[in-house]
Amino acid sequence: MLDTELDLSTNLFSHIDFASGAVAAVSGGSDSTALLLLLKHHLDRTAPATRLLAVTIDHGLRSGSAAEAQTVAKLCATLGISHRILTWSGPKPSTGLPAAAREARYRLLAEAAQTEGIGMILTGHTADDQAETVLMRHARDEGQGHAEMAGRGLAGMAPATLYDWREWIVRPLLGLRRAALRDVLRRQNVGWADDPTNIDAAFERPRVRAALAGESVEHVEGMLMLAGQAALERRQLGASAADLIDRFASQPAIGLIRLDPCLLSPGDERAAVYALRILLATTGGIAFLPDQARSEALFGRLRAGFLCATLSRTVVDSRRSGIFLRREARGLPAAAAAGSILWDGRRRITLNDSSSALLIASLGTAAAKRLATGEGKAPPSLMRAALAAEPALWQAGECLGLPGYGLKSAMVEVRPVVTPFGRFLPSFDLALARAVAGLIGAAPVPPLPFSGHSAG
């Protein structure tokens, strides 16, 4: 059964590490307002010195949004909680508005956390939100004919998600129904705002919410139990794929991954295909995993013999010396003024030289041929082809080199990115992300803000 006790703070927050403080996302709705009250109650009793900042994002999409943000500010002043209102400024898209608003919300919350030196954001997502998310993903995948739903989408929202490889977004209320939280507010004589867009049938989530309103408690709880089982299976699949990557994958050169043919041996084929999909997306700089069916077909062809194929912008070259993955030469970013950017979805570039004459562009085949690639790690031709697709600094038509290949490290830092998890890393996939990060030399995953670092 779902927890419906009114004094919930101990059960909700006792496993969370608040050593670096917390940003609470508070819209003024019932869920986030209850989160704020319960969190304040918990911290006052257990860690009163904890830095707590409430942040309200005013998306500027409704005439009453500014007044609602001010109401939250007044509540925070009454409770003695620091509060900040951040506004989503600029033009709004005519299509995909909920997704764009969600992206802006997380970006602004993360910026507030960074400014305060806080590495954790708490949101008020509830069991009702979880059920809606699972139904929405299920409907999308059924409509698109996807066969992997039980392994990923049905898991719903994770207890924690790493945003932009820096801030953890923690969802402590996922085990609670919205009705229980509203009971908490009524007992405290605290009101809340009802966002009219939550019942606007023009958007997908309100339509799903309306459909769920007619379902029994037992139906919703059964669906959430199914999501919990799917989450467990997703973590187990990720852990198995991570183990295969640790055992059978190596990086003989920047941008080149070698897979031992033993990865193709009979055994846990599902985990092996999953590992392959993650590595294809990472090598190609694609946020979404390649199609399940096409990946399975590629896996079967690799078992059948040597080949050279392309999937998700990744060249797959199977030889006697191993199976090699590298970024294909097509579609690389055009030369651009050097700056601190995410390049090709694969490399986080931090420029330490402010010279306006510098450009960032791919190394290219000609410059790659002049590099000493080392012997024995992989066929030299493949190493050069991989390096040719890496970002290099150029000045007046002359290549200054790559980090590690002649370029002074003081000028620029280039860090690989685990692209499928670079923006959002659900805690379900933590083991897998750590394995890929270790393989390609990406920055380590920040530790979970949970006691014992449990994925939840």
Note the pLDDT of residue 57.
95
Q: For residues 402 and 336, which has the higher predicted lDDT (pLDDT)?
A: 336
Domains delineated in the chain? 9-215 (3.40.50.620), 243-328+420-453 (no CATH), 336-416 (no CATH)
Note the pLDDT of residue 147.
47
Q: What is the Rg, in whole angstroms, of the alpha carbon atoms belonging to the chain?
A: 24
Q: pLDDT, tens digit, for every residue of 37-69?
A: 999 999 999 999 999 999 999 988 877 889 999
Joined together, the tokens standing for residue 88 give: 């989503």
Note the pLDDT of residue 250.
97
- pLDDT category, 149, cuts 50, 70, 90? very low
Say which range, 107-111, 393-397, 410-414, has the weakest mean pLDDT: 410-414
**Cα angle for residues 348, 354, 360 (degrees, 5° grid):** 45
Q: Kindly provide the residue ranges of all beta strands, DSSP E only, lying in 72-141, ordered along the sequence.
A: 82-87, 120-122
**What is the torsion angle, in degrees rounded to the nearest 10, for the CA atoms of residue 369, residue 370, residue 376 and residue 377?**
-80
- pLDDT category, 416, cuts 50, 70, 90? very high
Give residue for tokens 């867009």. Answer: 197
Q: Mean of the pLDDT values across residues 194-209?
A: 63
Q: Mean of the pLDDT values across residues 368-381?
A: 79
Quote the pTM value: 0.89
Contacts of 220 (CB under 8 A, 6+ apart): 127, 128, 131, 177, 212
Note the pLDDT of residue 267.
87
pLDDT at residue 6 greater than cutoff 60: no
Contacts of 126 (CB under 8 A, 6+ apart): 31, 173, 174, 176, 177, 178, 181
Name the amino acid, one letter, at 214: G
Sheet holding 406-407, edge to edge: 336-337, 358-362, 391-395, 398-403, 406-407
Note the pLDDT of residue 355.
64
CA-closest candidate to residue 330, choices 315, 350, 352: 315
